[in-house]
Chains A and B, each alone.
Chain A
């Protein structure tokens, strides 16, 4: 049976609650959002004692089902003011599954502003003073944590920007090899964790036997069939070879690759930063470089990578499409080495690369450094590292940076910078950006893979609706979105796997129903927090400034978008 751990930071009390049999299918985003909707006042101060940070593992956590160990982290977002769930791969959810933990809830505030580590093992749960970790960057802190608690632990942690409550800070999770680079990046959840005075949650699953799978034979059979589907899927094979960077060519050719602060959708240096180039550089340099790497236990797709410098030493792992789009083309930077270094610096400081790409680009538009100046962008990261006022502004994310610098064109919805798809050229994603309960977020309802004409306004609300339900369903199961294609012919496996593990009936339809209910619960939280349909809009420039490469504006009728959440 799974349990929920509550940590009351005001008293230091740690309590266990059993997850009841009738709630066993609520996992991942379904659980973070349900707990927040029921227990957190939507109008609370984000850094006050009434906000909560919730970590939830998924339905397959602790098994080696491919792509089945995403960690969901939620809270009222310091960045957007909405409900928030941000999820990542890595080994944290796997460790939670092994330990039989479905969720960890951080409540209240530490009395004395102290910094602590939450350490959970099979034997004990404890809060440990962590003053020696204060202001420590993510990679050295992770190394020190491994020295303190052992090499095989899973860690969710923040960097100095999270401690400073900077609004673009995320939560880093270790990958299966211990790198603290799998980010729940979006929504400023690192700042929320910082406000709780928790530097790291360390999970040690030594001697843990979970999850107690009910039907091991069924699990083994479906897992094996699923792996065959993945390995025979041509599109997933390209993820293995090129990683997510294979998307650069698609968006660049559709005029959808954010370029120079979303002023256009094609980048003249796109071939310097695309999937082919990334693969070529990694394989030619060799050394610690690796073009294909699994971020979580059991992953067969292996879309992650390790990017080396010209001496073969690892710079960052992974280097992904969204980062390439936001920190690269959106800043006019067509140099993978500079992008990789910027990615590492963001990771090490504890920052979301998407919001930081937005922040650097608006700073470039304001003339702080020129577009295309990779070294100049790195100097901006120095400002953050030195905790200067400019650094504090930048690490507040793209919206605040743009506002302080008087920039007109700020590509964001509900305070959150858009991912690497121009909504004028992938209009279904524009609908998702506008209407998502999470602010501008591509993973909330990704339409770029759907059979629809992306430049046309027609059918985009329906496409976004379908994508938002499917994506939310995967967030609630705790599966990586990329595996969706492998279930195309056998969607019932999604329920069958949960049934084999937990011993309760579970159908695909039920998982869809949980996703829809979760979306409506999140909408209701946001409405209670003061958001309305009037907040479900893109910035004006997307409606009136033509993207010169796609030759389109965003023109999906608002009236149509208002019906998006009217589910069957």
Chain B
């Protein structure tokens, strides 16, 4: 198992630690958190990552609402 630090940058503004299997990807994290990739931007250690990205123990994740600019 690996531990992932998750910080919600959405209205929730909360922090939590999620435990995932060793082979877990961003997609598994999305599933665990019950959110979809279409509406959220997943930033892993400062870089946004796509669903197939393999997570590592101790990764720091920020979850943001996806938006376009002005």
Contacts and interface: CB of A to CB of B under 8 A. Distances in A.
A242 B65 CA distance: 11
B66 to A, nearest CB: 6
B9 interface: yes
Nearest to A484: B68
B39 A244 contact: no
A167 interface: no
Given A244-B69, A322-B70, A249 B9 contact: yes
Given A244-B70, A250-B41, A451-B37, A238 B65 contact: yes
Given A454-B47, A551-B46, A235 B70 contact: no
B67 A253 contact: no
B46 A235 contact: no
A481 B48 contact: no
B49 interface: yes
Contacts of A234: 39
A453 B50 CA distance: 7
Contacts of A481: 68
Contact of A320 (B37, B48, B70): B70
A421 B69 contact: yes
B24 interface: no
Interface in A434-462: 442, 446, 448-449, 451-455
A449 B47 contact: no
A419 interface: yes
A249 B64 contact: yes
A321 B64 CA distance: 16
A246 B50 contact: no
A549 B40 CA distance: 21
A239 interface: yes
A482 B50 contact: no
B66 A446 contact: no
Interface in A233-257: 234-235, 238-239, 242-247, 249-250, 253-255
Nearest to B41: A250
B47 A238 contact: no
Contacts of B49: 453
Contact of B69 (A238, A253, A322): A322
Given A253-B9, A451-B37, A246 B48 contact: no
B30 interface: no
A171 interface: no
Given A244-B69, A446-B69, A451-B37, A253 B43 contact: yes
Contacts of B48: 254, 453-455
Interface footprint category on A: 35 or more
B46 A246 contact: no
Instruction: Find the residue from A254, A454, A485 having the highest chain B CB count within 10 A.
Output: A254
Contacts of A239: 67-68
A239 B67 CA distance: 8
A-side binding surface: helix, strand, loop or mixed? helix
B47 A321 contact: no
A253 B62 contact: yes
A486 interface: no
Contact of A448 (B43, B47, B68): B68
Nearest to B62: A253
Interface footprint category on B: 10 to 19
A255 B47 CA distance: 9
Contacts of B68: 235, 239, 244, 247, 446, 448-449, 481-482, 485
Contacts of B9: 249, 253
A451 B50 contact: yes
Given A453-B49, A551-B46, A247 B70 contact: yes
Nearest to A323: B70
A251 to B, nearest CB: 8
Contacts of B64: 249-250, 253
Contacts of B41: 250
A93 B64 CA distance: 35
A250 B65 CA distance: 8
Instruction: Find the residue from A250, A255, A420 having the highest chain B CB count within 10 A.
Output: A250
Given A249-B64, A254-B43, A420 B69 contact: yes
Instruction: Find the residue from B48, B50, B65 having the highest chain A CB count within 10 A.
Output: B48
A174 interface: no
Interface in A333-367: none
A550 interface: yes
Nearest to B69: A247
B65 A235 contact: yes
Nearest to B36: A234
Given A253-B9, A253-B62, A238 B67 contact: yes
Interface in B18-54: 37, 39, 41, 43, 46-50
A254 B47 contact: yes
Instruction: Find the residue from A238, A320, A421, A446 having the highest chain B CB count within 10 A.
Output: A238
Nearest to B65: A238
B4 to A, nearest CB: 16
A490 B9 CA distance: 31
A243 B68 CA distance: 10
Contacts of B66: 235, 250, 449
Nearest to B70: A244
A246 B47 CA distance: 18
A400 B49 CA distance: 38
A246 B67 contact: yes
Contact of B65 (A246, A321, A446): A246
Nearest to A239: B67
12 contacts: A235-B39, A235-B66, A243-B70, A244-B67, A244-B69, A253-B46, A254-B43, A320-B70, A442-B69, A446-B69, A453-B47, A549-B46
In the complex, the 5 A-B pairs of residues with the closest C-beta atoms, listed nearest first: A244-B70, A321-B70, A320-B70, A455-B47, A449-B68
